[in-house]
Amino acid sequence: MVLEERQERERLRAQRLAVIAHAQAALTARCVLEGSIGEAYEYFPFWTEGEIREQKLEKYRNLLESMAMNGKSTANLSKRPEHSPQDAAAGAQGADNGPDGRKELTQ
């Protein structure tokens, strides 16, 4: 009886580990095919939107600091696209840049 219970617990544990191993193999294969690993939050739903934004901010802050320390220019970094057709229309109507660099309608 005790031996059977222990074997059943071990069998269930092995099943859980097999599911994890399968997911890891699938993730590894996907990363190899895509050519990049990506971030953990892209694959697992354990982070809030705020935590994801904070991680992205930290990643780009470190990138910019590294570039500055190496004397590289940030001119090649892609520019932020227009946010909406209203923003583009605001630019055509003589809008001013706001403190965050986005277009604001003038009154």
DSSP string, 55-101: HHHHHHHHHHHHHHHTT--STTSPPPPP--HHHHHHHHTTPEE-TTS
Contact present, 47 and 41 (Cβ < 8 Å) = yes
Q: How far apart are CA 8 and CA 45, in angstroms?
A: 30
Residue-wise pLDDT tens digits, 6-38: 999 999 999 999 988 998 888 888 888 888 777
Residue-wise pLDDT tens digits, 43-65: 777 889 999 999 999 999 999 99
Q: Cβ–Cβ contacts within 10 Å for residue 62, how many?
A: 10
